[in-house]
């Protein structure tokens, strides 16, 4: 629903899209980089979430200064045969709002056609969280198409909302599985290694090998060592897939969560106090010191709080489902509208700090709306196999979508740009097949012998 509203807004509010050129607000939910105001006092401040990482070795080509003569001809740098690279030369897409609307409708059709009747489930049941992950990964890949591949962009990308859902569900799942006690250290570390680091290492080895063979990029030894332990703070490491900042950030949250639970057991300190305090610290640190350090610093603590009050929220939801659905629709509509109008409102009304905070808060509100909507479907015994499949494979898709979408795109150079929706769905299918293979191997490896 949020995607559909955004697509419609993008088509009927071209003026806001033009205004965004002055402010240049582009949202992706990966490497966040906020540029300070110009020294002449202008308000052309850019908040670019998901911009190409600084330090990425340049390709031979240079970006076009204007649209190509034949706008239906695929652009990008040919790196090997039919593989296209979009790190430097971007894909020019005429009428991106139209393509966005078609893609949203296509995905919505796939979600709807594979809806099935099942047993009713309570709010934030595992079945629902899997579907939320599926929706989140679609939002991320869909948004990165506009942020990292396209030369011109629609009004909204919404991939930052996918990142918000991932972080929120990470906190929620960890808090639910841990219960009220500090988890065993050995078990906690082992599970994180198997579920997070093992797929991450597999993806890292593949991308490093492809970079060396196809692009001639050799990762410095220090960066190689750091990225293998999950620390991705330099330009070369972030340029491996333009999304691994998330792994670094989530690993940091895991450490903080364990310490918070340990302090609860040892000193009786409420874990939420430490979690939200760290979220605030990260937010201020990112704003005032290291731009691009992280993104959605409050989503993980919000997920942990949601786990604590899950039963109470479920009880309230069951008593007044209709009103909750209306509330969810209001959250989604107002959230998308607010993001659409941000480029117009921000320069005249609010300072940058409040702007960023409200942006993050709006993403959490949109995530809450989607949770309620899927909760309502779950209560009716309805679930989408499309979202469930994407949810099961969401982490593997996340790890592989950057290289396949941005650096070694096997599809976009084969079809005219006019068929972008078809090209994107084909790429998503390739990601699904590849991720399913990786997932199967890892599940077999993790199976008790």
In a domain, 64, yes or no: no
**Cα 234 from Cα 231, distance rounded (Å):** 9
**Cα 75 from Cα 73, distance rounded (Å):** 6
CB 98 within 8 A of CB 11: yes
Residue ranges with strand state E in 20-71:
25-26, 32-34, 47-49
In a domain, 63, yes or no: no
For 369-426, what is each residue's pLDDT tens digit? 999 999 999 999 999 999 999 999 999 999 999 999 999 999 998 999 999 999 999 9
CA atoms within 13 A on the CB side of 15: 3
pLDDT at residue 437 in the model = 92
Distances (CA, A) of 89 to 55, 68, 81, 86, 139: 17, 11, 17, 5, 23
In a domain, 188, yes or no: yes
Widest pairwise Cα distance in the chain: 68
| pLDDT at residue 276 tops 90 | yes
In a domain, 59, yes or no: no
Residue ranges with strand state E in 118-257:
none
Cβ contacts of 186 within 8 Å, gap of 6 or more = none
CB 146 within 8 A of CB 157: yes
What proportions of the chain, in percent to the nearest 5, are helix, strand and coil? 65, 5, 30
In a domain, 406, yes or no: yes
**Cα 76 from Cα 134, distance rounded (Å):** 29
pLDDT at residue 208 in the model = 95
In a domain, 79, yes or no: yes
Domain that holds residue 117: 2-54+75-446
The SS3 of residue 35 is: coil
In sequence order, the β-bridge partners of residue 116 are 383
Model confidence at 335, pLDDT cuts 50, 70, 90, reads very high
In sequence order, the β-bridge partners of residue 26 are 48
CB 200 within 8 A of CB 439: no
Terminal Cα distance for the chain, rounded:
44
C-alpha closest to that of 56 among 217, 171, 254: 217
Supply the DSSP symbol for 297. Answer: T
The SS3 of residue 239 is: coil
In a domain, 21, yes or no: yes
Region 230-250: mean pLDDT is 92
**Domain tally, the chain:** 1
Token pair belonging to 82: 């039919």
For 29-74, what is each residue's pLDDT tens digit? 333 333 333 322 322 223 333 333 444 444 544 344 444 555 566 6
pLDDT at residue 64 in the model = 45
In a domain, 68, yes or no: no
| pLDDT at residue 363 tops 60 | yes
Supply the DSSP symbol for 31. Answer: S
């Amino acid at each position: 629903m949020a995607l559909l509203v955004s697509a419609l807004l993008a088509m009927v509010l071209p003026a806001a899209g033009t205004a965004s050129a002055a402010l240049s607000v582009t949202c992706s939910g990966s490497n966040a980089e906020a540029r300070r105001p110009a020294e002449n006092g202008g308000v052309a401040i850019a908040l670019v979430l998901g911009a190409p990482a600084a330090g990425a070795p340049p390709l031979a080509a240079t970006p076009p200064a204007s649209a190509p003569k034949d706008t239906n001809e695929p652009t990008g740098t040919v790196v090997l045969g039919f593989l296209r690279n979009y790190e430097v030369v971007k894909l020019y897409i005429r009428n991106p709002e139209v393509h966005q609307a078609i893609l949203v409708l296509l995905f919505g059709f796939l979600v709807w056609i594979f809806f099935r009747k099942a047993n009713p489930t309570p709010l934030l049941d595992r079945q629902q969280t899997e579907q939320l992950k599926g929706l989140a990964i679609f939002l991320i890949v869909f948004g990165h198409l506009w942020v990292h591949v396209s030369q011109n962009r629609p009004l909204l990308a919404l991939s930052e909302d996918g990142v918000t859902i991932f972080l929120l569900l990470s906190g929620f799942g960890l808090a639910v599985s841990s219960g009220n006690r500090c988890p065993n250290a050995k078990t906690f570390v082992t599970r994180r290694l198997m579920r997070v680091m093992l797929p991450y290492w597999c993806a890292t080895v593949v991308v490093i090998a492809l970079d060396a063979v196809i692009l001639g990029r050799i990762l410095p030894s220090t960066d190689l060592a750091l990225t293998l332990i999950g620390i991705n703070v330099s330009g070369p490491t972030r340029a491996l897939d333009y999304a691994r900042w998330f792994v670094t950030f989530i690993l940091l949250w895991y450490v903080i969560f364990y310490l918070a639970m340990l302090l609860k057991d040892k000193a009786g300190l409420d874990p939420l106090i430490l979690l939200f305090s760290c979220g605030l610290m990260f937010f201020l640190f990112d704003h005032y010191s290291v731009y691009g350090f992280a993104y959605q610093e409050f989503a993980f603590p919000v997920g942990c709080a949601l786990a604590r009050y899950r039963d109470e929220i479920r009880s309230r939801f069951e008593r007044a489902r209709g009103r909750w659905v209306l509330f969810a629709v209001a959250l989604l509509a107002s959230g998308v509208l607010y993001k659409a109008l941000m480029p117009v409102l921000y320069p005249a009304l609010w300072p940058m700090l409040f702007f960023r905070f409200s942006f993050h808060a709006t993403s959490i509100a949109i995530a809450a709306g989607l949770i309620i909507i899927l909760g309502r479907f779950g209560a009716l015994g309805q679930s989408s196999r499309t979202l469930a499949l994407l949810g099961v494979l969401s982490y593997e898709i996340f790890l592989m979508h950057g290289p396949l979408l941005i650096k070694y795109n096997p599809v976009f150079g084969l079809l005219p740009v006019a068929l972008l929706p078809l090209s994107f769905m084909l790429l998503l299918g390739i990601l699904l097949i590849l991720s399913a293979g990786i997932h199967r191997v890892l599940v077999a490896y993790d199976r008790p012998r």
